[in-house]
């Protein structure tokens, strides 16, 4: 029996589930490829540049990710609204949502670019990244490269959101796979002829996805999705309230997630050094497989939940949530196996380049268990747009995170394990609140903030 048939038999065979099942199978293949590439890339990059330079790049890229706040939730808001319009077969409304989002986000990003260009020459980047002053020029231009490509990517990545809204998340994931293949191919070829540096690494790792988005946007908007291609003619500012009404909540969630995840490298490089950034990120990458596998299962259901909720198909939602929970249990068993085998995996993967303590691995593993448990219910909550409670909880979570990190590092002297431990201790929303809200929503008794 094929993998596709196994997935269909487990999840169901109605039309909506068939679309999701097909995406899960294809995304599974793509995720395996992505995982293999990402793991192969680490030793190749650390041979292309030094582990310290790699750690600096990780810090730069995580800091630049803060600029995703310029999205102000437009992408996430468009995803839900576009899915609803497509479910109702209102193609004019769909095209207006896409056009309004593209044009609005381009204006916001353009303003961000101008502001950054005015400020960046006057910043002491060596101090920002806690490095020697003689690296200031390299850090300055590396930051400029990463920021420039990231902001361009912010707008162009909307093509992936359009694919997801058409219930084709596997196609969106495929764009990342192509980018990863381009990255590893380029670095491997260059490493045969030269030793790399931080500037060159920044160009390669930042530009590849932008190239893929440009090509895919041209092909899709001049072909299959020409009926929703962005156009100035279809810009309608009246839709901004509808998109942002939902999107602003996702914007606040995004800020909270940035504090929880992207701030970690910045904290580590200041509290410890750039090599410890690599230690944390390698362990995070290994146990990130738990999140990747679970996202593979759950993310395709986001827009399917949106469609089912709009059509009031509650039985389908209940059955799907129950099955996703069972699949989550399977993912956790895989994660436990990875934890037990992690010393061997690290030895094969990176050799003696970096040493990763088992305690760090265990703490990150525990965090991913709690995070993905909430995800069983959270994808549904996001899909139906009832996220006000989630927003408030994540603001509290983000507010607790930094004080907990300070306590664990400076008072209890727990070292680098402080980062995942603080994430775990502040993650009460995923562990407790998400399931409670789902039950209230699906039973029709959610009131007040539980239903907003």
Q: In which residue are the tokens 């999205």 written?
A: 71
Taking the CA atoms of 25, 26, 29 and 34 in sequence, report the sign of the dihedral they define.
negative
Low-confidence ranges of the chain (pLDDT < 50): 1-8, 10
Amino acid 334: pLDDT: 92
Amino acid 10: pLDDT: 46
Whether 102 and 154 have beta carbons less than 8 Å apart is answered as no
DSSP line for 22-41: HHHHHHHHHHHHHHHHHHHH
| 30 class by beta-carbon count within 10 Å (0-12 exposed, 13-18 middle, 19+ buried) | buried
Amino acid 3: pLDDT: 41
Write out pLDDT tens, residues 201-218. 889 988 999 999 999 999
Cα–Cα distance measured from residue 168 to residue 30, given in angstroms and rounded to the nearest whole number: 13
**Could you state, in order of their start, the residue ranges of all structural domains in the chain?**
3-451
DSSP line for 253-264: HHHHHIIIIIHH
Taking the CA atoms of 123, 129, 135 and 141 in sequence, report the sign of the dihedral they define.
negative
Amino acid 4: pLDDT: 47
Cα–Cα distance measured from residue 240 to residue 243, given in angstroms and rounded to the nearest whole number: 5
Cα–Cα distance measured from residue 4 to residue 2, given in angstroms and rounded to the nearest whole number: 5
């Amino acid at each position: 029996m094929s993998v596709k048939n196994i997935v269909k038999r487990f999840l169901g065979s109605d039309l909506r589930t068939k679309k999701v099942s097909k995406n899960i199978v294809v995304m599974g293949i793509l995720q395996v490829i992505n995982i293999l590439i990402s793991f192969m890339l680490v030793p190749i990059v650390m041979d292309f540049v030094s582990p310290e330079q790699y750690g600096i790049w990780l810090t730069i890229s995580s800091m630049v990710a803060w600029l995703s706040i310029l999205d102000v939730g437009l992408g996430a808001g468009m995803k839900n609204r576009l899915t609803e319009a497509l479910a109702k077969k209102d193609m004019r409304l769909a095209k207006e949502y896409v056009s309004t989002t593209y044009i609005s986000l381009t204006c916001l990003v353009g303003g961000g670019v101008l502001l950054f260009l005015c400020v960046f020459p006057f910043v002491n980047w060596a101090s920002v990244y806690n490095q020697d002053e003689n690296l200031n020029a390299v850090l300055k231009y590396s930051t400029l490269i990463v920021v420039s490509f990231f902001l361009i990517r912010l707008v162009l990545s909307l093509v992936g959101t359009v694919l997801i809204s058409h219930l084709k998340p596997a196609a969106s994931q495929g764009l990342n796979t192509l980018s990863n293949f381009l990255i590893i191919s380029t670095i491997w070829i260059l490493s045969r002829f030269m030793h790399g540096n931080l500037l060159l690494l920044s160009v390669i790792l930042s530009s590849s996805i932008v190239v893929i988005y440009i090509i895919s946007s041209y092909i899709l908007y001049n072909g299959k999705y020409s009926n929703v291609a962005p156009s100035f003619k279809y810009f309608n500012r009246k839709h901004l309230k509808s998109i942002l009404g939902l999107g602003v909540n996702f914007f606040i969630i995004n800020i909270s997630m940035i504090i929880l995840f992207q701030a970690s490298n910045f904290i580590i490089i200041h509290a410890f050094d750039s090599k410890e950034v690599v230690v944390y990120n390698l362990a995070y990458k290994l146990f990130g497989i738990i999140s990747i596998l679970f996202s593979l299962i759950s993310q395709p259901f986001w827009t399917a939940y949106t469609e089912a909720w709009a059509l009031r198909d509650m039985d389908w939602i209940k059955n799907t949530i129950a099955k996703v929970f069972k699949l989550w249990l399977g993912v956790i068993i895989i994660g436990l196996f990875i934890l037990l085998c992690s010393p061997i995996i690290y030895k094969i993967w990176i050799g003696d380049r970096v040493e990763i303590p088992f305690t760090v691995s265990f703490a990150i593993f525990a965090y991913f268990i709690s995070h993905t448990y909430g995800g069983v219910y959270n994808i549904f909550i996001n899909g139906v747009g009832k996220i006000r409670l989630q927003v408030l909880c994540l603001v509290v979570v983000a507010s607790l995170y930094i004080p907990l990190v300070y306590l664990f590092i400076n008072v209890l002297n727990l070292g680098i394990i402080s980062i995942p431990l603080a994430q775990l201790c502040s993650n009460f929303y995923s562990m407790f609140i998400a399931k409670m809200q789902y039950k209230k929503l699906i039973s029709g008794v959610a009131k007040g903030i539980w239903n907003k």
